[in-house]
Amino acid sequence: MEEGKESMLNNSDSNKHSDFYKASKISFSLEKLLDDFSLWFPKARNYGYTADELYRVEDNAIVTFIPIPIVEDGNYKLWLFCFVRVERMTPRIKNLLLSELSEIFDLSKIANLTHFEHYFIVADVVRGRITPKFGKKSVYVIKADYAYKVYEITAKAILGFIKSFRKNVKYGDDLLALCDELEKFAERMRKRADELKSSTQPSPTHHPSNSNPVETRKKAKTAESREEAEEYLALLEKSRVIK
């Protein structure tokens, strides 16, 4: 990076209040994501890599790789996943950030080994219209309130690829075994998505966004008065019986 050039990652206001691994208010964090992907680290040598080659960490971003059942020149191809956590995102910042990520992680050096690339930018505030980009290089900008979609999209993408692969490839025990591993991993991602989604949905009987302190006090007072009236009527009824 050029000297004096402002970094889109380092310039995030969220850095002023938290470190790289701090979880957001909706229990989403890059640390948890990396922990989920760490499932592949002990298996790295099975596919010709070392654990250190399967992930990189920088400021508020991580890049991690998983092997896929495509072999070229004796090497298993990789699926790149990049996750970024920022406070604010706009179309202009997105483009600058993607360029910076490629430079910071020096992704050009492994371009020949990378088959798919998925970039997820999770932002507290999203300004302007940012359309998702689909394809071998996909880019998603997701509001922090819907961070579960990171897991959801990851699971769907992997399962979709494996479904297509199985239709076209019927040989290679090692490749099919990797398909099984990827399907298990996708189910793990799907489960994480469900857990995160359920933890962020309001209770059916409690809607904090619609609550009004004054109305709440009025309702409580009304309920209390009703209860007192019912107790009074019960006492009157009891006195009649005694008489």
pLDDT in tens, 73-87: 999 999 999 999 999
Are the beta carbons of 120 and 155 closer than 8 angstroms?
Answer: no
Average pLDDT value for residue range 59-76: 95
pLDDT for position 198: 87
pLDDT in tens, 1-20: 444 455 667 555 444 444 44
Average pLDDT value for residue range 39-61: 94
Q: Which two three-digit tokens encode residue 61?
A: 């971003």
Cα–Cα nearest to 216, from 208, 204, 226:
208
pLDDT for position 205: 45
Of residues 172 and 143, the one with the higher pLDDT is 143
Are the beta carbons of 141 and 130 closer than 8 angstroms?
Answer: yes
pLDDT for position 7: 64
Mean pLDDT across the chain: 81
What is the per-residue DSSP string for 91-120?
HHHHHHHHHHHHHHTTGGGGTTTEEEEEEE
Residue 136: pLDDT over 80: yes
pLDDT in tens, 148-201: 999 999 999 999 999 999 998 878 899 999 999 999 999 999 999 999 998 766
Number of other residues whose CB lies within 10 A of the CB of residue 195? 13
- What CA–CA distance (Å, rounded) separates 36 from 47? 19
pLDDT confidence band for 224 (50 / 70 / 90): low
Of residues 111 and 236, the one with the higher pLDDT is 111
Residue 123: pLDDT over 80: yes
pLDDT confidence band for 124 (50 / 70 / 90): very high
Share of the chain above pLDDT 70, in %: 71
pTM comes to 0.74
Q: Domain boundaries in the chain?
A: 13-200, 212-242
Residue 47: pLDDT over 70: yes
